[in-house]
Amino acid sequence: MKQEDDIKQAIETMRKGGVILYPTDTVWGIGCDATNAEAVKRVYEIKQREDSKALICLVDSDARMQRYFRNVPDVAWQLIDSLKEATDAKPTTLILDGAINLAPNLIAEDGSLGIRITNEPFSKELCFRFQKAIVSTSANISGEPAAQNYCDIDPRILEAVDYVCWSRRQEHKPHTPSSIIKLKENGEVTVIRK
């Protein structure tokens, strides 16, 4: 299947409220429309994860990220700019306060949300074409290891989703989860995962 057709199928599935499995800039992810509370609820069910543990989102650009927060602090823009300049930068998820315009069950109790701008070609194009944030949580049952490659995905997850992307299924190489950095509006920075 051509990547373009794969992306079309994934988008069509998410527009109908479905859940997809897709390759990201880190590990394989379970995804859905980040504005659809029913779809988000299904992702929690598939992962067998408490909904008090927040999920993260992927977007394709700074401009798209800005739509989902009341205010993006200056320190976040500085970090994003420095990540763009670093050719070997590890994918980095930012947790920011004041999340808006998303499914309420996606936003943490304190009003924060983890978001990452992806530069990996498949997930970036998927986010760009979908025109909205896409949920991105590791394709595993909660508490089990993240699926680095397609071949690592638990059959229960493969059966539970509505569409499994074809792109990058043959890949066999190490992938690691993103770094996670929490940024407060007052400029306070906390590294959650290196």
**All structural domains of the chain with their residue ranges:** 3-193
Hunting for tokens 């499995």 — which residue is that?
21
Highest mean pLDDT among 3-7, 74-78, 187-191: 3-7
Question: Cα–Cα distance between 121 and 25 in angstroms, integer?
Answer: 8
| pLDDT tens-digit readout, 148-174 | 999 999 999 999 999 999 999 999 999
CA 46, distance to chain mean position in Å, is 16
Q: Which of 38, 117, 128, 127 is nearest to 80 (CA)?
A: 117
Q: Tell how strand 189-193 and strand 179-183 pair up.
A: antiparallel
Q: Please give the backbone phi and psi of residue 127, each rounded to the nearest 5 degrees, phi first.
A: -65, -40
What's the 3-state SS for 22-49?
EECCCCEEEECECCCHHHHHHHHHHHCC
The pLDDT confidence band at residue 187, using thresholds 50, 70 and 90, is: confident
User: Is the pLDDT at 125 greater than 80, yes or no?
Assistant: yes
pLDDT (tens digit per residue) in 23-52 = 999 999 999 999 999 999 999 999 998 877
Q: Give bridge partners of residue 190 from the DSSP assignment.
A: 182
Position 87 pLDDT exceeds 80: no
Choices 3.40.190.80, 3.90.870.10, 3.30.2140.20, 3.40.50.300: CATH for 3-193: 3.90.870.10
- Sequence-distant contacts of 146-152: CB under 8 A, at least 24 apart: 146/27, 146/28, 146/177, 147/27, 147/28, 148/27, 148/28, 148/173, 148/174, 148/175, 148/176, 149/28, 149/173, 149/175, 150/23, 150/28, 152/28
The pLDDT, as a whole number, for residue 147 is 94
